[in-house]
Amino acid sequence: MTEKNISGEQYFTANPNAEHHYQNFNFDLLGHELHFTTDSGVFSKSTVDFGTRTMLDALEKTSIPIGKVLDLGTGYGPVGLTVAKAYQRHVDMVDVNERALDLARKNAQQNGVAQRVNIFKSDVYASISDKYALILVNPPIRAGKQVVTAMLQEAANYLQDGGKLIAVLQKKQGAPSAQKNMSLAFGNAKVIHKNKGYYILESTYGTNTSI
């Protein structure tokens, strides 16, 4: 994730003050057409970014444990809403960006999945207390290494036994280092998909791992 708005204000701030510029578009994800409303001050406002699309495609290459899903850093909601619609899962969708969360709520309603999602503010895992079957994250690289590492390594504390963390990073933006960090936390980390320099990384939490 690399986008910032034209004022230079980063999309991972809590309350973007960029002038509103709403956009609407449709996008096909996992065989479902979703409608999105976006705005200035959020990540990838003009289309669903390639990293997110690659991560969603990779879900068809792995097994997804039974249970609730966490979309960490949801933005306006493409990951969480797609999982709720395509897999009919309950998804908690969190972000630090209040504007993004408002858009995610709107998008949940207009895509008919509001009853299957819970959208709320959380700075990384600060407001998280549940255990999940799956955590999905497209980390905000520009937020810095400390934030990205926390998103990946602390995930082990919020997964049920057998639960998975799946993350997308570009090779040139630290995918190999991220894989090492995930391996340190989980005792395992593998690449389950690659596309145009984007790596989809997966770790599984369990009683036999090092955490």
Q: Report the alpha-carbon distance of residue 78 to residue 200 in Å, rounded.
A: 17
As to burial, measured by CB atoms within 10 angstroms (0-12 exposed, 13-18 middle, 19+ buried), residue 162 is middle
The CA-based angle 88-89-90, given to 5 degrees, is: 130
- The per-residue pLDDT for range 67-115, each reduced to its tens digit, is 999 999 999 999 999 999 999 999 999 999 999 999 999 999 999 999 9
Whether the per-residue pLDDT at 7 is higher than 80: the answer is no
Q: Using the 8-state DSSP alphabet, how is residue 139 labeled?
A: -
- The per-residue pLDDT for range 149-170, each reduced to its tens digit, is 999 999 999 999 999 999 999 9
* Nearest Cα to Cα of residue 197 among 180, 174, 181: 174
Looking at residue 113, its amino acid is: V
Instruction: Tell me the two tokens of residue 150.
Output: 């926390």
What phi, psi does 94 have (nearest 5°)?
-130, 155
- The per-residue pLDDT for range 14-73, each reduced to its tens digit, is 555 667 788 999 999 999 999 999 987 787 766 899 999 999 999 999 999 999 999 999
Considering the entire predicted model, what is its pTM?
0.89
Exposure pattern of 82-102 as b/e (b: 16+ CB <10 Å)?
bbbbbeebbbbbbbbbebbbe
Domains with residue ranges and CATH for the chain: 25-205 (3.40.50.150)
When pLDDT is averaged across residues 112-134 and rounded to a whole number, the result is: 97
